[in-house]
Chain A
């Protein structure tokens, strides 16, 4: 597999290569959302250029998965290979969490629970300006522990922001444990429905399902896509393991990971 291909396998390879080079964690989270971020940027979002005022907006509310975003920006040609290779280096724009200064980053994130509110404001703006642009917010499931998410959920439903789509990465785990043990989120679909949202439940690694689910519905409600995912998707020893929220890879682990995603180390 060539890391310069535009495939999702290539995106996973970028995530592994950069994490290994920089010796930083959050690998499992980035691998987990790779299919979602890849499908959105390559098949859904209408962005003629990062500076286009009427582009669709994307907010990575779970900012700690920013490496997946950087990989896609590289695939889109918005950042150079040299920039990508500065991930987590001194004096770099590419940190663990996305900075607004980087072309393509619509909003800086990293503090969980803030993205959906900002997305609601961006969606309200589009409506006030009579623009057809849409707003997509990718949240983590544990992020829904934050009360502010539900303030935003109530607001978006009350304002009937049907141009707003939230995607919840339902991987069932968070920094220190599994969500069912830390703060049980179920029944999640019922909760969003009760807050006035149109709900879709999909396999978050199935591209066709992703693309179909994030499209606007016919109702006037905002849409939430509950995307079931596997934390650390593609690398067997990371999958569903709490440790890989923060852990960096050793040399051997990196080689094995690259082999498993279909590349050659």
Chain B
């Protein structure tokens, strides 16, 4: 996704001189296409994320569209108050690019995981959060949103090969994308974990359960209308996200269900425990957190067994 993001950004920057790229000294073997093509519009500001967001605020106020780039926790959590008092409070088009949503930096441990970023950003009115599910959707999402008013947070992954079957690179603001139609249950996924949700639906099919799968990439503000049109058709919704239980996709769906009084039971596959004292690959961390296809299948069958309240 990050290669697709940077490549698309290069294409956009060739057409619009307002686009700048700032990095806090991260992005080796990722950002070079931009840095090489536009050396005067690329700034490595050093390992100083708060200043990066402050500088971006000053740049955006003067008419630029600065993209600031780092690994998720360093792009979101470290400079969070600068994001709040800068681009959000001043309604400026700063684009925050966080690489590595979830456990993408597997062996690097919790300091490098992005497991609360969506929850943190969702607290703020006035910023959009976009979490593409694969590199094809990343391209479309960037093309649809780079020029919107106000700030945007992009939560992207590192995988530039895997695609979500049925997604076909589609993205629209305030819309969810159905990647597999179904009748019995809907599985909603956010981010690069989406292929596991599709794989789970395929396994469920073999067990006689017809699961619909949707991708929620335009995540904040909540795509309520689009989401509700799906949720109203199912007695059970299972959410899948490489994110803490609180604040992410599961929370969002719970809020939408509750406020609209939709008769849909919710089951959440999310990170429930502090991921410390253990390390491993992204795949291992997904399995440990109950986010792999087998766990999604189990959770879906449990939820269907205990029944929706429809």
Which residues from chain A sit less than 8 Å from chain B, CB to CB?
53, 100, 106-108, 110-111, 113-114, 116-126, 128-129, 135, 147-148, 151-152, 154-155, 158
Q: Which of A107, A108, A121, A148 contacts B56 (CB 8 A)?
A: A121
Main secondary structure of the interface of B (DSSP, over half): helix
Closest to A109 in B: B85
* Residues of A contacting B59 in the complex (Cβ-Cβ under 8 angstroms): 121-122, 124-125, 128
Can you give 10 contacting A-B residue pairs, CB < 8 Å?
A: A110-B85, A113-B50, A117-B53, A117-B54, A117-B55, A120-B55, A121-B54, A122-B61, A129-B62, A151-B46
Cβ distance A122 to chain B, nearest Cβ, rounded Å: 4
Separation of A154 and B85 alpha carbons in the complex (Å): 22
User: A113-B50, A128-B40, A128-B59 given. 11 additional CB < 8 A pairs?
Assistant: A106-B61, A107-B90, A114-B50, A114-B85, A117-B54, A120-B54, A120-B58, A121-B60, A124-B58, A125-B64, A154-B51
* Residues of B contacting A155 in the complex (Cβ-Cβ under 8 angstroms): 45-46, 48, 51, 55
* Residues of B contacting A148 in the complex (Cβ-Cβ under 8 angstroms): 50-51, 54, 82
Main secondary structure of the interface of A (DSSP, over half): helix
Q: Are A151 and B81 interface neighbours, CB within 8 A?
A: no
* Residues of B contacting A154 in the complex (Cβ-Cβ under 8 angstroms): 46, 48, 51
Q: Are B86 and A114 interface neighbours, CB within 8 A?
A: yes
* Residues of B contacting A124 in the complex (Cβ-Cβ under 8 angstroms): 43, 55, 58-59
- Residue B63 at the chain A interface, CB threshold 8 Å: yes
In the complex, the 4 A-B pairs of residues with the closest C-beta atoms, listed nearest first: A121-B58, A117-B54, A125-B62, A151-B51
Known contacts A100-B90, A117-B50, A151-B48: A108-B58 contact under CB 8 Å: no
Separation of A200 and B61 alpha carbons in the complex (Å): 29
Separation of A53 and B53 alpha carbons in the complex (Å): 22
* Residues of A contacting B51 in the complex (Cβ-Cβ under 8 angstroms): 117, 120, 148, 151-152, 154-155
Closest to A123 in B: B58
Cβ distance A143 to chain B, nearest Cβ, rounded Å: 13
Cβ distance A264 to chain B, nearest Cβ, rounded Å: 41
Q: Are B61 and A107 interface neighbours, CB within 8 A?
A: yes
* Residues of B contacting A113 in the complex (Cβ-Cβ under 8 angstroms): 50
Instruction: Give the interface centre of B46, B53, B62 by most chain A CB atoms within 10 Å.
Output: B62
- Residue B57 at the chain A interface, CB threshold 8 Å: yes
Separation of A53 and B46 alpha carbons in the complex (Å): 29
Known contacts A100-B90, A108-B85, A155-B45: A116-B62 contact under CB 8 Å: no
Q: Are B62 and A118 interface neighbours, CB within 8 A?
A: no
Cβ distance A145 to chain B, nearest Cβ, rounded Å: 14
- Residue B173 at the chain A interface, CB threshold 8 Å: no
Separation of A113 and B54 alpha carbons in the complex (Å): 10
Q: Which of A108, A120, A135 contacts B89 (CB 8 A)?
A: A108
Separation of A121 and B90 alpha carbons in the complex (Å): 14
* Residues of A contacting B63 in the complex (Cβ-Cβ under 8 angstroms): 53, 125, 129
Q: Are A117 and B64 interface neighbours, CB within 8 A?
A: no
* Residues of A contacting B56 in the complex (Cβ-Cβ under 8 angstroms): 121
Cβ distance A198 to chain B, nearest Cβ, rounded Å: 20
